[in-house]
Each structure stands twice: as C-alpha cells, then as structure tokens.
Amino acid sequence: MQKSLEPETYDLLRQSIKDFVAKEVLPIASKMDQADEFPVELFRKMGKMGFLGVTIPEKYGGSGMDYRAQAIIEEELGYASASLALSYGAHSNLCLDNLYRNGSEFIRENYVPKLASGEWIGSLGLTEPSSGTDALAMKTRAEIDGGDYILSGSKTFITNAPYADLVLTYARTGEAYSAFVVLTSEKGFSRGNKFDKMGMRGSPTGEIFFDSIKLGNEKIIGEPGKGKDIIFSGLNSERVILSFIFVGVSRRALELALKYATERKQSGKFLYEFQLIEEKLAYMYTRYQTSKLLAEKALDNLDKDPFDSLGAAAAIMHASEASEYIAREAIQILGGLGYVKDSEVERLLRDAILGQIGAGTTEIRKHLISTALVKKYKREDKIPNL
Ligand SMILES: Cc1cc2nc3c(=O)[nH]c(=O)nc-3n(C[C@H](O)[C@H](O)[C@H](O)COP(=O)(O)OP(=O)(O)OC[C@H]3O[C@@H](n4cnc5c(N)ncnc54)[C@H](O)[C@@H]3O)c2cc1C
C-alpha cells in the first residue's frame, strides 16, 4: 500500500465521500435498516467511484491510496450508515486488502481487480459455529488430494456472505492452517439464510458451507501452512479501520442530540440550558474526541508497526464503547422521540452495540491491551512512554 500522500489528497477524498454520502447514503439509511436490505447496486457504484479499492495500486484496478484514505471512507460511511460501513470494511479491508497483501501474482491479477471495481463482492470467513474468539479451534479442513485441496466445513456470521462472489477463508491443513480463495460459483459451495440481527441491518450476515470443494494450488493465499500468519497480519488493520465506523456513529449521534437540544424547549428553556443536559453534551463531545484521537494515533502507527496490538485494540475498544454511550445519551436527550423507530438515534444505538462484538470482542481487546502493557513494562521496567 502506498504511503504519505499530500494532505490535500485526503481533503479531496473526504469531500468526495461526504458528497456521496449526503446524496446517496443518508436518504436510504433508515430504509436499509428497516427493510434489512443491502443496496447492492450502490455498493457496486462505490467500486466504480474508486472507494472499494482505495488502498489497491492502480495496476490492479485500485485508487493507489492507503489506510488513511480507507479510514476516511469508513468514518463518513459510519456517520450515515454503520451497516454500509461494516459491509465496506468486510469487503475492502478484511477481504480485498488481505488478498492483495498476501496473494500471489495470479490472485492479484485475476481476483483483486474484480473486487476493487465492485464487479465482485467479497467476504472474509474465519468464524465457525464452535470457534469464535478461539478462532484457531476451527474445524474446517483442506485435505491434499493429488495436486489439489479438498475443502470441507462451514463458517458463520460472515458479513456480505449472502451476496459474496469470493470468500477469503481459512482451514486446517494437517497440523497447520492455510488461507484459501473460494469462489462462490465453485461446486460444493452453498449459503445458509441471512441472519435477522438487532442492528447493522442492511449489512447482510450469514453462514456458508464447503462440501468437498476442489481447490487448485492457485487458490492458496501465501504459503501452504502459513495461514496463521495471514490471520494475524490483518487483525490490527481491521481493528483500526473499523474503529472509524464508530467514530462516525458517535459524530452523528452527537450532532442529532445537539440539533434537538437547541430546538426543543421545556419549562420555557431550551434543553441545552439545563445543567444535566449540559453534562451529557460535555461527556458526549469528550468521548467522541478521545475516540477519534485514539483511532488516529493507531492509524499513524499502522505503517510503522503493523503488529502492535496495543494501540489498535485500545482504539476499537474505546471507539465502540464511546459510540454506545453517545448513542444512548442522544436517545435520552430526545426523550420519547428517541425511543421510536423513526428516530435515527435508536438505530445508532443498535448499530453501535456490534462494535463490542465484531472484530474480536471487548473482553479480548482488554486482554490484548493488558498483555501488551505488561510486556512493555517488563521490558523497560517502567511505565512505557507511549
Ligand atoms: C454482525 C456480525 C458480523 C460479523 N462478521 C464477521 C465476518 O465478516 N467474518 C468472520 O469471520 N466473523 C464475523 N463475525 C463474527 C465475530 O468475529 C464473532 O462473533 C466474535 O469474534 C465473537 O465470537 P463468538 O460470537 O463466537 O463469541 P464467543 O467467542 O463464543 O464469546 C462469547 C462471550 O465470551 C467471551 N469470551 C470468549 N473467550 C474469552 C476469553 N478467552 N476471555 C474472556 N472472555 C471470553 C466473549 O468476549 C463474549 O463475551 C461477525 C459477527 C457479527 C455479530
């Protein structure tokens, strides 16, 4: 991925995604949620506009930018529709970036451009019914058969699975793990029903099944037996990039709360004039700012130290907890109106809750933060200067 673009390039990108969001996403965000409908053609359009492959070099059909550009897109999508932002993250970061970073020249030439343009929709399949947090306990296996692999097993809770053309997935190969490209057109591939979720509705989530799928060598990502490295290579960038969805959710919730507090009067005063509402606004703003700052800090560190889980885990833990808090307080400020389905803040809270479950849970982030801190402390024998 390319680095160090001029600040104006990012400003232009932010303006262009803001324009897109205002025109195309905000008007349908509520319908996406209520009908639980994925806007597949709009998603493909994001490919044509260069957003889906923003980190991919132009040679492979991308826009030749970097993670900062992807974070900007995530934040602006998250502001309007966290579910579209989640599907974007699964397609562009979890699947496409991973495929480009670790894939062979064959994979880069044949699959990367199709995902970057939006012609194909991508997923990453790691979670299984009996292995979520403990992902390495997966049961899916790929057995060598002559020059091919035979893949059998299933994955669950896979974002975009109901629409995916390509799934980047992992399987046990002997005692080790390997990463594979599975085209959903392969014989032996099937999908389960779309899950009916409390939030992130419109971002389709589902199960997939591999029934003795025959995969040639060209479908292996990276070296056989090195799948564990590939899993870990993507986790920090996933945490950092997805943090920005929740920064966007927080900004939207704060904005809606401010709008209402400055319009609504009770007992002859605007809501913002009551001290208890002032306190809410002050905490909401502070937590929004700290989540943005932590996410920015983790983003800066991503190129320098892609394996530093401390900042990445802290960024997503704080951004997701903050968005839940801010959305909840926004509901409180809107009073009864905040509790009805038509109010956007009600959706924001339901969407924010996913932040503590997807991309590793809050509990695991706490474990990662504490483990990394203790390790640094033991090495330097003092509180690390972070
Ligand atoms: C909307 C949505 C989209 C998703 N998209 C994808 C996707 O695209 N691809 C994909 O592969 N997966 C995806 N997931 C799956 C997601 O990554 C898992 O749900 C998550 O990793 C947790 O796994 P689990 O649900 O099996 O919970 P479990 O691992 O069973 O955990 C249940 C509870 O126990 C706690 N717990 C578990 N182990 C420990 C431990 N060691 N220490 C402390 N507490 C622990 C957890 O924190 C949690 O609170 C998605 C999930 C959702 C809900």
Number of structural domains, the chain?
3
pLDDT of residue 176: 97
β-pairing, 166-173 vs 122-125, is: parallel
DSSP state of 92: I
CA of 355 to the centre of ligand 1 (A): 11
Is residue 329 within 8 A of residue 283, CB to CB? The reply is: yes
CATH code of the domain in which 27 resides: 1.10.540.10
What tokens appear for 223 in the block?
């070296």
pLDDT of residue 5: 86
pLDDT of residue 382: 72
pLDDT of residue 299: 96
Indicate if ligand 1 lies below 6 Å from the C-beta of 234.
no
Is residue 61 within 8 A of residue 47, CB to CB? The reply is: no
Strand ranges (E), the chain: 122-125, 141-145, 148-159, 166-173, 176-183, 189-194, 205-215, 220-221, 265-266, 269-270
- How many Cα atoms are found within 13 Å in the side-chain-facing hemisphere of 337? 10
How many Å apart are CA 350 and CA 366, to the nearest integer?
22
- pLDDT (average), residues 2-6: 69
Query: Best of 87, 361, 364 to mutate for ligand 1, by most ligand atoms within 8 A of CB?
Result: 361
Residue 342: pLDDT band with limits 50, 70, 90 = confident
pLDDT of residue 384: 63
CATH code of the domain in which 207 resides: 2.40.110.10
Residue 303: pLDDT band with limits 50, 70, 90 = confident
Which residue has the least CA distance to atom 38 on ligand 1? Answer: 133
181 and 298 inside one domain:
no
* Number of neighbouring beta carbons within 10 Å of residue 138: 23
DSSP-derived secondary structure for 69-80: HHHHHHHHHHHH
- pTM recorded for the entire structure: 0.97
205 and 129 inside one domain:
yes
Residues with Cβ within 8 Å of 16's Cβ and at least 6 positions away in sequence, in order, are: 49
How many Å apart are CA 281 and CA 333, to the nearest integer?
9
Would you say residue 1 lies in a domain?
no
259 and 364 inside one domain:
yes
C-alpha to C-alpha distances, 131 to 139, 143, 315, nearest whole angstrom: 8, 20, 25
Residue 4: pLDDT band with limits 50, 70, 90 = low
Q: Mean pLDDT of all residues in the chain?
A: 96
pLDDT of residue 336: 98
Residue 301, pLDDT above cutoff 60? yes
- Enclosing domain of residue 162: 123-226
Residue 1 burial by Cβ neighbours in a 10 Å radius (0-12, 13-18, 19+): buried
69 and 153 inside one domain:
no
Exposure string over 223-234, b if 16+ CB within 10 A, otherwise e: ebebbeebbebb
Mark which of 196, 226, 256 sits at the end of a domain: 226
Would you say residue 2 lies in a domain?
no
Query: Best of 88, 133, 210 to mutate for ligand 1, by most ligand atoms within 8 A of CB?
Result: 133
What tokens appear for 79 in the block?
């502001």
Residues with Cβ within 8 Å of 98's Cβ and at least 6 positions away in sequence, in order, are: 124, 168, 221, 230, 233, 234
Q: Which residues are known to be catalytic?
A: 238
pLDDT of residue 377: 84
What are the pLDDT digits (tens) for 161-189?
999 999 999 999 999 999 999 999 999 99
What are the pLDDT digits (tens) for 59-75?
999 999 999 999 999 99
242 and 166 inside one domain:
no
Of the candidates 183, 66, 178, the one whose C-alpha atom is nearest the C-alpha of residue 123 is: 183
Indicate if ligand 1 lies below 6 Å from the C-beta of 160.
no
Indicate if ligand 1 lies below 6 Å from the C-beta of 138.
no
pLDDT of residue 44: 98
219 and 232 inside one domain:
no
Q: How many residues does the chain have?
A: 386
Indicate if ligand 1 lies below 6 Å from the C-beta of 358.
yes
Of the candidates 119, 231, 99, the one whose C-alpha atom is nearest the C-alpha of residue 172 is: 231
Residue 386, pLDDT above cutoff 70? no
What are the pLDDT digits (tens) for 13-71?
999 999 999 999 999 999 999 999 999 999 999 999 999 999 999 999 999 999 999 99
CA of 131 to the centre of ligand 1 (A): 8
pLDDT of residue 233: 85
